[in-house]
Amino acid sequence: MKNKLLIVDDDNDVCSFYLSVLGGDYEVKTAQDGGSALTLFVDFKPDVVILDVDMPQQTGIDVCRKMRVLTKEGPYVAIIFLSGNSSRENLVIGLSTGADDYLAKPCSLPELKARIKTNLRIKKITDELALSKKKLQEENKKLEHLTITDELTGLYTMRFFTNRLDEEYSRACRYHYDISVIMLDLDHFKQVNDTCNHIVGSYVLAQVGAKVKQQLRSEDIAARYGGDEFVILLPHTSAAGALSLATRIANSIRNSRFVLDKFKVTITASIGIHTFAGNNKMTKKDSRALIRSADELLYQAKDRGRNCIMHAGVA
């Protein structure tokens, strides 16, 4: 496949000449003004633009600036300026605008062809580097996701959770809004591992993690606290809102049958909820106190016979 050249010059004879001498080696299109050049630039997607500096209405400098904006996120396009003015000042202006090369008119055809090939090599290297950078960024995102995600449940790790809790707690104190923390523990989960096996137990934990995620908003943060215990952070959430969410999650777990191979498991959850009012002048000493309070309420729920929710209201 031939590389694409866009020739931009307000002189029709110049455009026709370049089309005739370069058309055998490249796919060439021409434009005689800035507006047409920019339209072709978008539609034709050239690899190299040969751009006359001295044009009416929009100069080559103006067109070059706009082309660089258009290629900010896309494949690199090499731009070669052509001008009858070969002064050093004009050269500096052209290159600082975003051009890759600068030739004075009239230029020899062998030199022009050599410059085109050189800039095509530069484009190829630039595109390869951009592709490598993109792949590296994607791999880094995957790695980051792995470091903050619990492999079994798909929820966040506690390290990520506590960092986000610290941030939200600080904001809640500063901007005076409610945040809630939910602690959830599966009732008699040890019996699942003992009666079935640990593979089934892991499957149940994974499914519970998925059910928790299904009920959350994008700003909510859920993590696996450890074993069969989960913790959820709800920014901008009142006591009533937290209780409503906890009830939906508990019902979703209670009404599900987890089936794997020959095993069918039903299970319930005990839940503790603590809501912190950001406008309360008697603030907690630290954000972790929210977890401790929710955990204490969770154990009260277990003491009351499990499969229930304990909520201390706003504190």
pLDDT 10s digits, 209-263: 999 999 999 999 999 998 999 999 999 999 999 999 999 999 999 999 999 989 9
What percent of the chain lies above the pLDDT cut of 90?
A: 58
In degrees and rounded to multiples of 5, residue 15 shows phi and psi of: -60, -45
Buried b (16+ CB within 10 A) or exposed e, 22-32: beeebebbbbb
> Would you call 228 a catalytic residue per the annotation?
yes
Write out pLDDT tens, residues 270-312.
Answer: 999 999 987 765 455 578 889 999 999 999 999 999 999 999 7
Mean pLDDT of the chain: 89
Q: What would the pLDDT profile of 195-208 be if each residue is shown by its tens digit? A: 999 999 999 999 99
Task: Out of 185, 187, 228, 295, pick the active-site residue.
Answer: 228
Those residues with Cβ within 8 angstroms of residue 114's Cβ, 6 or more apart along the chain or in another chain: none
φ/ψ of 230, rounded to 5, equals -130, 155
Domains and CATH numbers, the chain: 4-140 (3.40.50.2300), 158-314 (3.30.70.270)
Alpha-carbon Rg for the chain, nearest whole angstrom, is 32
Q: CB-based burial of residue 143 (10 Å sphere; 0-12 exposed, 13-18 middle, 19+ buried)?
A: exposed
255, burial (CB in 10 Å: exposed 0-12, middle 13-18, buried 19+): exposed
Give me the pLDDT at residue 103, please. Answer: 85
For the cut 50, the answer to whether the pLDDT of residue 75 exceeds it is yes
Provide the pLDDT for residue 146: 65
Total residues found in the chain within this entry = 315
